[in-house]
Structure 1
């Protein structure tokens, strides 16, 4: 598996895409290119979903 910071950076870049269809295409391409990193990415997304946002404060 690659460096965790690189993975996180790539995921953040994908999440910043405004167009949902383009974002979905990039997610699919990323998962196909890095299948061994998908469990880590899902874990990251799930833990971030539980974090409070600025709106929650």
Structure 2
């Protein structure tokens, strides 16, 4: 899978996400799978943070 990303930090984020997904036994078919996973985890973290602020 070849990625056209703006900088090394983006490549590192994608690489870490792919490794984490593979370690969990998740299927990685294309960059969309990885991007969806990253966005989902960031969104989940944001919601959890907002819940703590309100609570």
Q: Same fold (TM over 0.5)?
A: no
Structure holding more helix per residue: 1
TM-score (norm 2): 0.37
- RCO higher in structure (CA 8 A, sep ≥6): 1
Larger radius of gyration: 2
TM-score (norm 1): 0.36
